[in-house]
Amino acid sequence: MKVEHLFHRYSVHWAVKDISLEINKHGIYGLLGSNGAGKSTTMNIMCGVLKQTEGDVFIRGIDTRKHPVEAKRLIGFLPQKAPLHVDLTVEEYLKHCANMRDIPGRQVGEAIDRVLEQCNITHFRNRLIRNLSGGYQQRVGIAQAIIHNPDFVVLDEPTNGLDPNQIAEVRNLIKKIAEERTVILSTHILPEVQAVCERVLVINKGRIVADGTPDSLSHNLSSDHRLIVRIEGLEKDVLANIKTLKDLVEVVSYGEKEANVCEYSIEGKPGRDLRRDLFALCSRKGMPILALRNTDLSLEDVFLRLTSESYSGPAIQPEEKAAAREAVEAAPQENSEDRGFKT
């Protein structure tokens, strides 16, 4: 999947502003942002539910605007509110979905059996959907999204409104279906990202402001890359040796914590990871490291920083700003077919 310079406007409000991303392999990718950040609008455009104001979306090289039917065959979508027909049984509903997806008649039964098993709802195949719990209704929603065996599955807030046990079950199901395809998950719940996502894109005010693994975001956005370490040895000797490290900004001793063991705060220059050099130094000097941790930001801190009013996002080159401004100014007003959709 490839998204290039995506813009979308509702009347005078720009919900999406120059979003570009590319996903090439299986796994779980998270779109993280606060309510109203532009996550749902972006996902609706990706899935062909909403027509973008500007920009392009390609699914396996297929332009979703020029060839929407072909592109949609490769995508499964579960919106925030699952499109369930609660007066049907699970099997009746999935048969309806299979027909909507143009699955050949002789393959419908096999497709239904496959997703019932994958989503662990085979024993509910003859039960009315209205009589299922919220967690099992969400499983049915996921089943309809994968019944045509798509390459990409897009899930918008899939655990919203579920209890802790149901959330755990749905997360395990998401991990299972991601073994064979790419899953794009939209959420504003931080534990969700940490629990299932391999890569995270943070959206704020319609823009991608960060992209990386949860760990790399925590590390890269920490302004002071500081280590807290306990080292055995005479305090003055340990301090003297640490001060020889390249790109060291500051070392501070917190005093003795155990017999002949002191705790130190070691800060390197921004972007400089001192751990390998520190391990090598301590090994050469016979100073055993008994404990080490870094003080990178937590994912919650990262999210709050990236979505704060004062955060301006990654640097944008002047020519990119000009191109974005031209696209915004040239974009047409909202189409009537776009009304009613919200971020």
CA dihedral 93, 96, 100, 105 (to 10 degrees): 130
Which CATH number is 283's domain given? 3.30.70.3190
Q: Is residue 237 part of a domain?
A: yes
* Residue 311 scores a pLDDT above 70: no
Q: Which of 162-171, 188-197, 214-223 has the lowest mean pLDDT?
A: 214-223
What does each C-alpha distance from 102 to 110, 111, 235, 262, 326 come to in angstroms? 14, 12, 73, 69, 41
Question: 202-221 pLDDT, tens per residue?
Answer: 999 999 998 988 877 776 66
Q: What is the pLDDT of residue 222?
A: 61
Q: Is residue 100 part of a domain?
A: no
- Side chain identity, residue 273: D
What mean pLDDT do residues 66-77 have? 93
- Mean pLDDT computed over every residue of the chain: 85
Reported confidence tier of residue 224, pLDDT bands at 50, 70, 90:
low
* Residue 112 scores a pLDDT above 90: yes
* Residue 313 scores a pLDDT above 60: no
Residues 305 and 275 in one domain: no
Query: Diameter of the chain by CA atoms?
Result: 79
* Residue 319 scores a pLDDT above 90: no
Residues 305 and 260 in one domain: no
Residues 290 and 227 in one domain: yes
Burial of 48 (0-12, 13-18, 19+ CB in 10 A): middle
Q: What is the pLDDT of residue 296?
A: 66
Q: What is the pLDDT of residue 309?
A: 57
Starting at the edge strand found earlier in the chain, the sheet holding 54-59 runs 13-22, 2-10, 54-59, 62-63
Written as one string, the DSSP assignment of 198-239 is SEEEEEETTEEEEEE-HHHHHHHT-SS-EEEEEEES-HHHHH
Residues 215 and 155 in one domain: yes
Choice between 332 and 242, residue whose per-residue pLDDT is larger: 242
- HSE-CB at 185 with a 13 A cutoff on CA atoms is 33
Q: Are 182 and 23 in contact (CB under 8 A)?
A: yes
Name the pTM for this structure. 0.70
Q: Are 211 and 194 in contact (CB under 8 A)?
A: no
Count of helices and strands (H, E) across the chain: 12, 14
Choice between 339 and 129, residue whose per-residue pLDDT is larger: 129
Which CATH number is 308's domain given? 3.40.50.300
Q: Are 343 and 40 in contact (CB under 8 A)?
A: yes
Reported confidence tier of residue 2, pLDDT bands at 50, 70, 90:
very high
Q: Are 206 and 52 in contact (CB under 8 A)?
A: no
Q: Is residue 206 part of a domain?
A: yes
Number of domains comprising the chain? 2
Residues 178 and 234 in one domain: no
What SS3 state is found at 129? helix
* Residue 90 scores a pLDDT above 50: yes
Structural domain for 65, as ranges: 2-74+150-219+300-338
What SS3 state is found at 103? coil
Question: 326-336 pLDDT, tens per residue?
Answer: 444 444 444 43
Measure the CA–CA gap between 196 and 171, rounded to whole angstroms: 7
Residues 235 and 215 in one domain: no
What mean pLDDT do residues 121-138 have? 95
Question: 252-298 pLDDT, tens per residue?
Answer: 999 999 999 999 999 888 778 899 999 999 999 999 999 998 776 66
Q: Is residue 174 part of a domain?
A: yes
Q: Is residue 137 part of a domain?
A: no
Tokens of 87: 């007066």
Residues 193 and 228 in one domain: no
Question: 20-37 pLDDT, tens per residue?
Answer: 999 988 899 999 888 888
Residues 49 and 159 in one domain: yes
Residues 204 and 317 in one domain: yes
What mean pLDDT do residues 67-82 have? 92
* Residue 340 scores a pLDDT above 70: no
Q: Is residue 92 part of a domain?
A: no
In our burial notation (b when 16+ CB lie closer than 10 A, e otherwise), range 100-112 reads ebebeeeebeebb
Residues 156 and 287 in one domain: no
Residues 229 and 283 in one domain: yes
With a CB cutoff of 8 Å and minimum separation 6, the contacts of 324 are 5, 17, 18, 316
Residues 70 and 155 in one domain: yes
Q: Tell me which H or E stretch contains 251.
A: strand 248-258
Measure the CA–CA gap between 202 and 307, rounded to whole angstroms: 9
Provide the CA 177 distance to its chain's centre, in angstroms. Answer: 16
Q: Is residue 129 part of a domain?
A: no
Angle at 9 between CA 186 and CA 317, to 5 degrees: 80
Q: Is residue 87 part of a domain?
A: no
